[in-house]
Amino acid sequence: MNLNVQLFAVARDWAGRDQIPLELPADATVERLRRELDRVVPRLAESGVRFRIAVNDEFAADHQQLHENDSIALIPPVSGG
C-alpha cells in the first residue's frame, strides 16, 4: 500500500521536505513504517530518540496494523504550551 507521512519541526528539516511517500506491504505495522523512515531519513535513527508516530490523529503503538488512506505523522518530542 501507499502511505504518506507528514513531518514536523526538526524531522522536516532533516528530511528537507514536509511529507514522505512510502510504499509498504499490505500488512505493514507502525514498526515496519518506522524502519522505512529510518532508512529514508538516516538522522532519525542516528538521533538515538524514538519519535512517536501518530495514525489518524492518535499516538500509535508499534504493533498497530496500518491501512491504506491512514493519515500518518511523525511526532518529534513536543514543546507546546
Residues at the contact surface with another protein, assessed by CB under 8 A = 6, 8-10, 13-14, 43, 46-49, 54, 57-59, 71, 73, 75-81
Going by the DSSP 8-state scheme, the letter that residue 24 receives in this structure is -
Residue 16 half-sphere exposure, CB side, CA atoms within 13 Å?
A: 4
**Amino acid identity of 18?**
D
Closer of 26 and 51 to another protein (Cβ): 51
How many C-beta neighbours within 10 Å does residue 10 have? 14
Give me the least distance between CB of 56 and another protein, in Å please.
Answer: 9
Give me the least distance between CB of 54 and another protein, in Å please.
Answer: 6
